[in-house]
Chains A and B, each alone.
Chain A
Amino acid sequence: MSYAYLFKYIIIGDTGVGKSCLLLQFTDKRFQPVHDLTIGVEFGARMITIDGKQIKLQIWDTAGQEAFRSITRSYYRGAAGALLVYDITRRDTFNHLTTWLEDARQHSNSNMVIMLIGNKSDLEGRREVKREEGEAFAREHGLIFMETSAKTAANVEEAFINTAKEVYEKIQEGVFDINNEANGIKIGPQHSPTNPSLPSGGQGGMQGGGCC
Chain B
Amino acid sequence: MFSRVRSAFMNVVGGIEPVVGMKDVDGPSDERDRHRHLPHKFPYTRPHFLQLHTEEEIAVTADHHIRPIIVPRDINVMPWSAGYAEAVNAGKSMLNEDQACIHRGLLTRQDRNSSDSHKAPSLPYVYFGIFDGHAGSGAAVAAANQLHHIIHEKLVDIIDHLIPPVVQMEKSSRSGLSFFFPGKEVSKESLITGALESAFWDMDQLIGEDKLKYKVNGGCTALAALFIDGKLYVANAGDSRAVLVRHSRSQPMSYDFTPESERQRVRRLAALQPELLGNEYTHLDYCQRPVQKDIGKRILYRDWYMTGWGYKTVTPSDLKLPVVHGEGKRSRVLATIGVTRGFGDHELKALYSNIPIKPFLLCQPEVKVLHVDDEEEWSEEDVLIMGTDGLWDVTSNERVAEIITKSFKQFPQDENRNKYRYTSAAQDLVMSSRGKLTERNWRTSEGKSATIDDISVFVIPIVDYKRDHSAWLEQNKALREQISANMNSINSNVVVERAVHNGHPQDEEEEVSLESVMNGDDEIDTSAPLRLELQ
Contact = CB atoms under 8 A, between A and B. Distances in A.
Nearest to A10: B66
B95 interface: yes
A78 interface: yes
Interface string B5-43: 000000000000010110110000000000010001011
Interface in B59-96: 59-60, 62-66, 68-71, 73, 85, 90-91, 94-95
Contacts of A41: 68-70
Interface stretch (A118-126, A133-141, A197-205): A197-205
Interface string A70-81: 110111011000
Say what secondary structure dominates the interface of chain B: loop
Interface residues of B, number: 53
Contacts of B85: 40
A43 B67 CA distance: 13
Interface in A175-196: 181-182, 196
A45 interface: yes
A37 interface: yes
Interface residues of A, number: 37
Contacts of B56: 45, 198
B427 A39 contact: yes
B352 interface: no
B6 to A, nearest CB: 10
A204 B23 contact: yes
Contact of A71 (B69, B90, B420): B69
B44 A205 contact: yes
B417 interface: yes
A202 B94 contact: no
Interface string B311-347: 0000000000000000000000000000000000000
Contacts of B431: 70-71, 74
Nearest to B61: A43
Contacts of B217: 203-204
A37 B410 CA distance: 16
Say what secondary structure dominates the interface of chain A: loop
B436 A201 contact: no
Contacts of B60: 43, 45, 58
Contact of A199 (B36, B95, B407): B95
B95 A204 contact: yes
Nearest to A43: B60
Contacts of A42: 73
B44 A77 contact: no
Given A37-B417, A77-B436, A43 B68 contact: yes
A37 B95 contact: no
A201 B437 contact: no
Nearest to A182: B65
Which are the 10 A-B pairs with shortest beta-carbon distances? A212-B91, A203-B44, A210-B21, A210-B20, A198-B59, A78-B66, A204-B24, A203-B137, A74-B436, A211-B94
30 contacts: A40-B69, A41-B69, A67-B407, A67-B410, A67-B412, A71-B69, A71-B428, A71-B431, A77-B436, A78-B63, A78-B66, A78-B437, A181-B65, A198-B59, A199-B95, A203-B42, A203-B95, A204-B23, A204-B95, A204-B137, A204-B217, A206-B21, A206-B24, A206-B94, A207-B36, A209-B21, A210-B94, A211-B64, A212-B64, A212-B90
